[in-house]
């Protein structure tokens, strides 16, 4: 009885330590903002998704991947097509009459269609909030507030705001599935992890970039068992495999794939052709801030130097044989003319004047090489942290070296990294470099000047809030504090200089109508963006790789 009065006090203590960490407030406030953005600018991706609504609604399933009235053909895997079909069932009569479900070359639609589609993005994004709330609810007391900061940084991410709610895509919902698979891995629900990741893949195959990490992790923790392993003969190798688990995992993965692709088995080659259009150029309409942006810059600088100072060319040809470098100045001029013809297309094909052209094969091997480097440590110590680290590095490798990378793919790096960053203070610097450069590199997606202040202010406020909030909840390094002063200072300087860079480019755009000289450099603004941002993304990759490979205690 003596203990009875203490009970309320104890629960009060628990309540103070266990505040209701809910994302509900964030959902209300950001949904209000997103509703305000409904009438605003949207990109051609809007008509892409409208066309898919029309195709899936009007045509029998067999024809979905053959339809080509519009140039925006269906090029996501079948789960996404089913998703569009479900959405199209909710199209009301007014929206239908507005032209939402017409299969035409270029959509003719008005506000009702815009309202409908924007609302589907907002509604499907609820998944992201639910998954992250589960992440917070299931986390242990010690890491609860840190996880809350991480979860809120994701739901408030300027990336999702810009890409989904202005530019128009469904990333919030798609990343919810990816995050679900990461959570399943965290709670050692490996079958669920395989299920969610395969599902995510069947919605959007860009998640293939992360597949090596999932594959190796699940193989190591679920299928292989080294605990009783002693190598005496080759038969022992077979005993490592836990056949029952392999069978269970295999059937989960295969049944998801079967549900997704079975209706299209007969037309598999057509579906593949749509999903992997390798005829596209090395860089997207504008250069993603990756390694190839710097490669292009080097080519441009070399061309300029050689044209201005011809003796440099003479000097270079003494060392490098002609097929590797244009033999004469005339050939360079001719190539530049060719190049100018090449830039007019829908998707630009970048053509290098001095440096060797890049083949898809090379980008593929480079990506694979760095991904293999990232997953090997998972084989040796398959902790959850290692896994998320390798996931982030796989995203990095494909973003930096991949073929035809979209600037939006940076979310594939930022989201896994978010689940890692609070585990050690030294990870903060590469993380801040990545998010600042990554989010700023999305700015050119929204080129209307009315969005300028919104994207800049929103990103700036997000950066400031989360650079403090993450520092608050992040553990100090477990090992001896070896602060890399130079890297921290460089990162701070780099991040601060993003602001003048953004303003400078905006000024350049604003003055274009006034000075004819500026019109000659039409792509200068985009180039400055992708080059400056690629420096940030590359440095972040180097910083994280360093910690990943040379700091064992961090990953235990």
Residue 15 vs 63, nearer CB to ligand NAG: 15
**Interaction between residue 137 and ligand NAG (CB under 6 A):** yes
Phi, psi of 226 (to 5 degrees): -95, 5
Q: Does 11 bind ligand NAG (CB under 6 A)?
A: no
Among 70, 117, 133, 540, the residue binding ligand NAG under the rule CB under 6 A is 133
For residue 459, what are the CA distances in angstroms to 148, 162, 174, 422, 436? 19, 10, 22, 20, 8
Residues facing 405 on adjacent strands: 283
Nearer residue to ligand NAG within complex by CB, 20 or 514: 20
Contacts of ligand NAG in 42-61 (CB under 6 A): none
Report, in Å, the least distance between residue 299 CB and ligand NAG. 51
Nearer to ligand NAG, 131 or 210 (CB): 131
Looking at 6, 7, 20, 244, which residue binds ligand NAG (CB under 6 A)?
20
Options 103, 126, 130, 355; binder of ligand NAG; rule CB under 6 A: 130
Q: Does 113 bind ligand NAG (CB under 6 A)?
A: no
Between 183 and 393, whose beta carbon lies closer to ligand NAG? 183
Angle (CA) 156-158-163 rounded to 5° is: 115
CB-closest chain residue to ligand NAG: 137
Closest approach of Cβ 252 to ligand NAG, in Å?
Answer: 24
Q: By C-alpha distance, which of 162, 131, 136 is closest to 149?
A: 136
Nearer to ligand NAG, 151 or 554 (CB): 151
Q: Tell me the DSSP string of 192-260.
A: HHHHHHHHHHHH-GGGGGGHHHHHHHHIIIIIB--TT---SSTHHHHHHB-HHHHHHHHHHHHHHHHHH
134 binds ligand NAG (CB under 6 A): yes
Alpha-carbon span 397 to 374, nearest angstrom: 9
Nearest residue (CB) to ligand NAG, 18 versus 359: 18
Q: CB nearer to ligand NAG: give 20 or 520.
A: 20
Q: Give which of 35, 32, 64, 37 is closest to 51, Cα–Cα.
A: 64
In the numeric block, the tokens 């793919």 are attached to 409
Q: How far is the CB of 189 from ligand NAG (least distance, A)?
A: 16
Q: Which residues contact 362 (CB under 8 A, 6 or more apart)?
A: none
Using CB under 6 A as the binding rule, whether residue 16 contacts ligand NAG is answered as no
HEC assignment per residue over 142-172: HHHHHHHHHHHHHHCCHHHHHHHHHHHCCHH
Q: Least CB distance from residue 416 to ligand NAG, whole Å?
A: 21
Residues 462-481 interacting with ligand NAG (rule: CB under 6 A): none
Stretch that binds ligand NAG, among 43-51, 82-90, 130-138, 448-456 (CB under 6 A): 130-138
Beta bridge partners of 283: 405
Chain residues that interact with ligand NAG, rule: CB under 6 A: 20, 130, 133-134, 137
């Amino acid at each position: 009885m003596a203990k009875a009065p203490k009970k309320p006090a104890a629960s009060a203590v628990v309540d103070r330590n266990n505040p209701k960490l809910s994302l509900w407030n964030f959902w209300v406030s950001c949904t209000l903002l997103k509703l305000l953005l409904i009438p605003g600018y949207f990109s051609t991706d809007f008509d892409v998704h409208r066309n898919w609504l029309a195709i899936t609604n009007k045509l029998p399933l067999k024809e979905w991947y053959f339809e080509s009235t519009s140039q925006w053909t269906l090029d996501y895997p079948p789960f996404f097509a089913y998703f569009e079909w479900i959405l199209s069932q909710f199209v009301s009569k007014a929206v239908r009459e507005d032209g939402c479900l017409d299969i035409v070359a270029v959509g003719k639609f008005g506000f009702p269609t815009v309202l409908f589609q924007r609302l589907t993005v907002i509604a499907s994004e609820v998944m992201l909030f639910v998954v992250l709330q589960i992440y917070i609810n299931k986390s242990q007391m010690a890491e609860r507030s840190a996880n809350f900061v991480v979860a809120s940084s994701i739901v408030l991410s300027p990336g999702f705001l810009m890409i989904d709610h202005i530019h128009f895509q469904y990333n919030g919902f798609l990343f919810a599935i990816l995050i679900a698979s990461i959570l399943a891995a965290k709670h050692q629900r490996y079958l669920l992890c395989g299920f969610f990741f395969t599902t995510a893949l069947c919605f959007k195959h860009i998640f293939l970039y992360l597949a090596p990490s999932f594959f190796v992790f699940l193989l190591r923790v679920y299928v292989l068992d080294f605990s009783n392993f002693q190598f005496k003969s080759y038969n022992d190798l077979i005993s490592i495999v836990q056949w029952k688990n392999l069978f269970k995992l295999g059937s989960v993965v295969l049944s998801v794939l079967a549900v997704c692709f079975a209706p299209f088995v007969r037309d598999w080659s057509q579906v593949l052709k749509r999903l992997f259009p390798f005829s596209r150029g090395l860089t997207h309409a504008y250069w993603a801030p990756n390694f190839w942006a710097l490669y292009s810059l080097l080519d441009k600088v070399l061309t300029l130097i050689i044209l201005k100072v011809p003796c440099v060319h003479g000097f270079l040809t003494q060392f490098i044989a002609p097929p590797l470098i244009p033999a004469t100045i005339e050939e360079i001029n001719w190539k530049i003319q060719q190049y100018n013809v090449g830039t007019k297309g829908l998707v630009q094909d970048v053509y290098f004047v001095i440096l060797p052209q890049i083949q898809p094969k090379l980008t593929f091997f480079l990506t694979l090489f760095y991904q293999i480097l990232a997953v090997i440590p998972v084989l040796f110590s398959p902790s959850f942290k290692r896994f998320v680290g390798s996931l982030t590095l796989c995203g990095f490798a494909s973003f930096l070296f991949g073929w035809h990378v979209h600037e939006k793919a940076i979310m594939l790096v930022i989201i896994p990294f978010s689940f890692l960053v609070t585990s050690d203070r030294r990870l903060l610097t590469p993380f801040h470099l990545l998010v600042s450069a990554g989010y700023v590199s999305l700015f050119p997606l929204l080129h209307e000047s009315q969005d300028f202040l919104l994207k800049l202010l929103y990103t700036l406020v997000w950066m400031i809030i989360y650079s403090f909030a993450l520092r608050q909840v992040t553990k100090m390094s477990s090992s001896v504090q070896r602060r890399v002063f130079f890297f921290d200072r460089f990162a701070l300087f780099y991040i601060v200089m993003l602001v003048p860079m953004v303003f400078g480019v905006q000024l350049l755009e604003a003055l274009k109508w006034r000075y004819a000289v500026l019109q000659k450099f039409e792509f200068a603004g985009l180039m400055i963006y992708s080059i400056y941002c690629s420096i940030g993304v590359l440095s972040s990759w180097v910083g994280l790789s360093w910690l990943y490979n040379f700091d064992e205690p961090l990953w235990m």
